[in-house]
């Protein structure tokens, strides 16, 4: 299993905003094979905080697997644009999460994050909902 280059799909979900929340993450190799996944409940939080928590969990797992090159896909326009430096981080609760993302990116040789529509993020969405539903 080659984990040098990974494609990571992330999703955070909150029922209510804030409300019960969860994350879903699918890590795939270059061939599209899922090498790891995360489906985890969070405490009550906002949807944007859950999205960041999913990104952090994906990056931590990638680093632990020895990945050097990560291409991340997320359906959170806010998080993607903030991480890419296109949006300012106005919400103070997101700042420490953003800083953790930056720290983890620093451990990689290359990193990109791209916005994708929810329809292209079904696996991560299903993992988040599985955790939220307690399945």
The 10s digit of each residue's pLDDT in 36-52 is 999 999 999 999 999 99
**pLDDT of amino acid 1:** 66
Whether pTM > 0.95 for this model: the answer is: yes
**pLDDT of amino acid 90:** 94
- Quote the CA–CA distance of 52 and 86 in Å, as a whole number: 16
Is CATH 3.30.420.10 the classification given to domain 5-132? yes
130: Cβ–Cβ under 8 A, 6 or more apart, which residues?
Answer: 22, 24, 39
- Quote the CA–CA distance of 75 and 124 in Å, as a whole number: 10
Tell whether omega for the bond before 34 is within 30 degrees of 0, i.e. cis.
no
pLDDT at 129 over 80: yes
Helix or strand or coil: residue 76?
A: coil
Q: In the predicted model, what is the mean pLDDT of residues 106-130?
A: 97
């Amino acid at each position: 299993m080659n984990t040098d280059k990974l494609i990571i799909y992330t999703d955070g979900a909150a029922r209510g905003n804030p409300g019960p929340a969860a994350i879903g993450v699918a890590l795939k190799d270059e061939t599209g094979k899922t090498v790891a996944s995360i489906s985890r409940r969070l405490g009550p939080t906002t949807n944007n905080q859950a999205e960041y928590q999913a990104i952090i969990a994906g990056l931590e797992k990638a680093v632990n697997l020895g990945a050097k090159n990560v291409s991340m896909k997320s359906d959170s326009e806010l998080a993607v644009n903030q991480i890419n430096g296109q949006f300012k981080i106005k919400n103070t609760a997101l700042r420490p999460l953003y800083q953790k993302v930056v720290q983890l990116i620093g451990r990689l040789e290359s990193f990109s994050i791209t916005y994708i529509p929810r329809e292209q993020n079904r696996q991560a969405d299903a993992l988040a909902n599985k955790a939220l539903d307690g399945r």
